Structure 1
Amino acid sequence: MYRRKPLAAAAAAALLLACLAAPAQAGRSCEEKALSPDTFRLALATAQQTQQRLEALAVPVAIIGRVGQDLSKYGLRYTHAGIVYRAGDGRWRVTELLNECGSDRAELWHDGLGTFFLDDMFAFDTVLLLPPPAVAKSLGERLQDGPLLRTMFSARYSLTAYPFATRYQNSNAWVLETLAAASSGNRLYSREQSQQWLQKNGYQPTELQLGALTRLGGRMFKANVAFDDHPNELRYSDRIRTVSVDSIIQFFMARNEGWQVEEIAAPVQKRY
């Protein structure tokens, strides 16, 4: 997912009035594309609805997924994940890895819940993956410890980063590796260790069937897409394996540790 520019003053004011967290670094995508009033209201309604559900569930932290684009042809629904948690000031925030405006670089961002949905969304459905208490506790510890939180972070970005290599990383891979570390009781201290834990415990990435022109075109014309971290036998047969939100959910639900999934349908828009 792309890094975003700061919100205009009116938008930031609206977020504050809606009682949603709006940190200074929050904003929209790097593209100069204004959101329509209807889209803006729908994004805020989605955030408010999600916040109410989180509070009703009485959980301190969860994985949150959104539908940024239509990937139905690959059998996928949710495209981008972050970690949503209640901060010390009582507000809900989302920590997520975002791509630096289509470059090959990324950074961790700490956004308000409202800002998480202020993007070029395909749909406003939301999914929450709720960890069991022990994992939630470990995940909370990582969120409160800046250096510890970044141990699973890499600034080298690729949208199609291979799950079992450390050359690149994408948004969902950072979430997955952070969850692996939390699931170990925070006894994993590097990306290599997290990936080894995931392989040992049977994580299966999503496999995308990409045509050669799609694969080569992505490498030649987009700085944030790379395939050279994938095993040759896979990429030369146009089989690209990567981390999807769906694969994260499937993996942890199969562990039978008390994980829960909550899907929240998009708010119904009022007609005036």
Structure 2
Amino acid sequence: MCLRKSLLAAGILLACLTVPAQAGRSCEERALTLETFRLAMASAEQTQQQLEQLGASVAIVGRVGQDLSKYGLRYTHVGVVFHGADGRWRVAELLNDCGSDRAELWYDGLGTFFLDDMFSFDSVLLLPPPELARQLLARLQDGPLLRTMFSARYSLTSYPFSTRYQNSNAWVLETLAAASSGNRLYTREQSQQWMQKNGYQPTELHLGTLTRLGGRMFKANIAFDDHPNELRYSGRIRTVTVDSIIQFFMARNEGWQVREIPAPLPKRY
């Protein structure tokens, strides 16, 4: 059985017979095919092997949940994968609650991380330098500390320098900012100030008026009212993406490493 454990309270979310709709989709459940299950487990195994070969205890792991190539983006969602005290690999991540304007933090198994309606099973690892890895692992093992950069108010397109909403990637980035400071940042405002001071550049998406209005009117998990007026009225939406996180930390020349992992080969029946 695959388990999803809340950082707020442990419990079983769904059995592995359906795919849970998270990270911006509705609560509609769909049958899980054997091939999808196989690819998810194979992706998890490849990721674990990479981590163990590199001697890593913690890393940022990204997946391809949908096709964003028209925006020049590849990976859509990140979590923090770590080796727990019980010897198991887990992923800490923020997930949207069934297309609503709410989110929660979860502990997932690696297999479950790759079961979330993937567009592609390609993945990526961003490995921090040793001291930052130690600071990050300390946060992951302290539930209350890990939640200091968390907001339950969700928007898929949350603005990186506002605390009104948060998306999954923004939570990871703000958590990394706190760890990069030696865990001396205690609020989202402080993390965002650190990001600005250190030159973080969000991804700018160019969205037409109908796209923005349609998102706000018909989807509870998309909002634009946290963006500066001069940007949103011109259709320039800036948000945290996996690509922008990777570019930011690799540019710091602190010893970060990137490992891209191609999708497992489909099985020939």
Question: 1:3 corresponds to which residue?
Answer: none
Structure 2: how far apart are the matches of 1:270 and 1:69? 22
Question: 1:45 corresponds to which residue?
Answer: 42
Contact preservation (8 Å) 1:97, 1:109: yes
TM-score (norm 1): 0.91
Question: 2:24 corresponds to which residue?
Answer: none
Structure 2: how far apart are the matches of 1:25 and 1:171? 21
Structure 2: how far apart are the matches of 1:198 and 1:25? 35
**3-state DSSP class of the match of 1:70?**
coil
- Report the count of equivalent residues: 254
Trace 1:117-266 onto structure 2 (pairs within 5 A). 117-266=114-263
Structure 2: how far apart are the matches of 1:252 and 1:85? 19
Question: 1:109 corresponds to which residue?
Answer: 106
Amino acid at match of 2:51: L
Q: CA deviation at 1:168?
A: 0.2
In structure 1, runs of 5+ residues without a counterpart are: 1-11, 16-20
**CA deviation vs aligned residue, 1:131-183 (integer Å, no higher than 9, x gap):** 00111000011011111100000000000000000000000000000000000
Question: 1:18 corresponds to which residue?
Answer: none
**3-state DSSP class of the match of 1:266?**
coil
Question: 1:34 corresponds to which residue?
Answer: 31
Q: CA deviation at 1:53?
A: 1.0
**CA deviation vs aligned residue, 1:216-258 (integer Å, no higher than 9, x gap):** 1101111100000000000000000000000000000000000
Query: For the aligned residues, what is the CA RMSD?
Result: 1.1
Amino acid at match of 2:191: S
Amino acid at match of 2:186: Y
Question: 1:9 corresponds to which residue?
Answer: none
Amino acid at match of 1:167: R
Q: CA deviation at 1:25?
A: 3.4
Contact preservation (8 Å) 1:129, 1:261: yes
Structure 2: how far apart are the matches of 1:98 and 1:22? 11
Q: CA deviation at 1:118?
A: 0.7
Amino acid at match of 1:53: Q
Question: 1:25 corresponds to which residue?
Answer: 12
Amino acid at match of 1:25: I
Question: 2:17 corresponds to which residue?
Answer: none
**3-state DSSP class of the match of 2:30?**
coil
**3-state DSSP class of the match of 1:63?**
strand
Structure 1: how far apart are the matches of 2:233 and 2:12? 40
Q: CA deviation at 1:22?
A: 6.3
Question: 1:4 corresponds to which residue?
Answer: none
Q: CA deviation at 1:26?
A: 5.0
Amino acid at match of 1:82: G
Amino acid at match of 1:78: Y
Amino acid at match of 2:249: F
Question: 1:96 corresponds to which residue?
Answer: 93
Amino acid at match of 2:205: L
Structure 2: how far apart are the matches of 1:46 and 1:268? 10
Amino acid at match of 1:199: Q
Structure 1: how far apart are the matches of 2:239 and 2:4? 31
Amino acid at match of 1:256: N
Structure 1: how far apart are the matches of 2:45 and 2:170? 27
Contact preservation (8 Å) 2:4, 2:107: no
Q: Percent identity?
A: 79
Matched, 1:60 2:47: no
